[in-house]
Structures are given as structure tokens and as C-alpha cells.
Amino acid sequence: MSAGLILLVLFGSCYNDREDLLYPSITDCNTLNAEYAADIAPIIQSSCAIPGCHDAASGNKGGPFINFTQVKNKAAIIKAQVVSGAMPQGLSLSQEQIKLISCWVDSGAPNN
């Protein structure tokens, strides 16, 4: 009885969820054309490339996000981190901003 209860608790609520699929509203890019210069760069500058985070002096794992190449090289992990809300630390992006980043990465992270 108790062993059955333990097994139920351990295996009973197992899901294989992914945030980009669980919340399609932020990853539905049908009507959105995200542009690096107009949409992405301003978000990066105001929320990521700031002192103590990803500015030019950044010593953390992500490194600096000062120019397009640096951002493009980290595009997949940037999308994962903002979709999950893990980044930016101490700040929060709007759903619209998260969607812009997600869609820009999905379109191949172009320099448009």
C-alpha cells in the first residue's frame, strides 16, 4: 500500500513540457517580422548589455553582447533563457519583447 503510494507520487505527475511549446503565444511568429536593428538591439542594450551583466567588461559565461556577432553567436541560448524567464536576472521582459527575441532567433537571427 505505502509502496504503491510512493510509486504513484514518484511517477504519477511526469510531464515532458517545453516552454516554447507550452506557451505558444510567445513563439507564434506568423504575423511578426522581428528586426535586429529596430527590435532586438534596443532590448539587448537596455536589459542585457548593462554593467555587471553583458556589457563590454563582462566576465560571465555569456560574455559581452555589444555587437551583432556576439548576440548571434549566443542566439539559441538567449532565446532559451528569456523564454524561461531565467534572464535577464533582476529584470523582466514583457511578453511582446520575449516574443520578438524568440521569433528573431527562429528566423535564423538575421542582421536585418
Partner 1 sequence: MRLTLTVLFTCLLLSNYIAKAQTDTTDLLKGVTNQSNEKQYVTAAFKSSRIINGHSMELIGKNVLDFRILHRFGYVNDGISNLFGLDEARMRMGFDYGITNNLTIGIGRSTLKKELDGFFKWRPIRQATGAGGSPVSVVWISGMTLNTLKWAVPDRKNYFSSRLGYYHEIIIGRKFSERFSLQLAPLLVHRNLIDTDINSNNTFALGIGSRLKVSKRMALVLDYHPVLAGEQFGTYDPLSIGIDIETGGHVFQLHFSNSEGMNEKEFVTNTTGEFWKGEIRFGFNLSRVFSLNRNR
Question: Binding residues for partner 1, how many (CB under 8 A)?
Answer: 28
Does position 19 bind partner 1 by CB under 8 A? yes
- Is 43 in contact with 93 (CB distance < 8 Å)? yes
Cα four-point dihedral sign 88, 47, 106, 60: negative
DSSP at 62: T
Does position 29 bind partner 1 by CB under 8 A? no
Minimum distance between the CB of residue 90 and partner 1, rounded to whole angstroms? 12
Cα four-point dihedral sign 21, 109, 34, 86: positive
* Interface of this chain with partner 1, residues 69 to 108, rule: CB under 8 A: 76-77, 79-81, 83-86, 92, 95, 98
Q: Which residues bind partner 1 (CB under 8 A)?
A: 6, 9-11, 13-20, 22-23, 25, 61, 76-77, 79-81, 83-86, 92, 95, 98
